């Protein structure tokens, strides 16, 4: 069972702060070698995932449960912020962050579609039952 929207928002904000502060505290070490530069980009992609989760949860709290994050304002803003955080470490980290974030976004979208597809048949079957009862 998952946590509530408010708790998920709080956890996502906390994770954003921890990942960003980790990137900044270990900036010199993360930018020193090729492997560490790649790790910094991967960490920044997690920053993107946590920011997108926080923004989406905040919108659900403010505008209601049916509100979904869209590509243009929410995803692009989170991507720009995460790539900026990666750019503070190293230029190559921005590219790795962008690529890993796009892969993560694909799987988040895939999970969201599968969860709504699982809910759809029950709604259709209850509609058919109501039609049969009225006839």
Residue at token pair 């079957």 = 125
Number of domains in the chain: 1
What was the pLDDT predicted at 133?
59
DSSP state string for 59-92 = HHHHH-TT----IIIIIHHHHHHHHHHHHTT-HH
Q: pLDDT digit of tens for each residue in the chain (135 aa)? A: 689 999 999 999 999 999 999 999 999 999 999 999 999 999 999 999 999 999 999 999 999 988 888 988 999 999 999 999 999 999 999 999 999 999 999 999 999 888 777 766 655 555 555 555 565
Q: Which domain holds residue 23?
A: 5-134
What was the pLDDT predicted at 33?
97
What was the pLDDT predicted at 124?
54
């Amino acid at each position: 069972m998952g946590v509530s929207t408010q708790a998920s928002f709080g956890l996502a904000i906390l994770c954003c702060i921890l990942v960003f502060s980790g990137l900044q505290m270990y900036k010199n070490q993360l930018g020193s070698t090729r492997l560490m530069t790649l790790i910094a980009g991967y960490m920044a992609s997690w920053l993107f995932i946590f920011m997108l989760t926080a923004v989406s949860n905040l919108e659900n709290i403010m505008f209601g449960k049916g509100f979904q994050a869209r590509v243009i304002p929410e995803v692009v803003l989170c991507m720009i912020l995460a790539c900026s955080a990666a750019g503070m470490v190293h230029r190559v980290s921005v590219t790795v962050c962008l690529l890993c974030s796009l892969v993560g976004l694909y799987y988040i979208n895939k999970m969201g579609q599968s969860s709504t597809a699982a809910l759809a048949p029950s709604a259709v079957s209850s509609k058919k039952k109501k039609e049969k009862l009225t006839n």
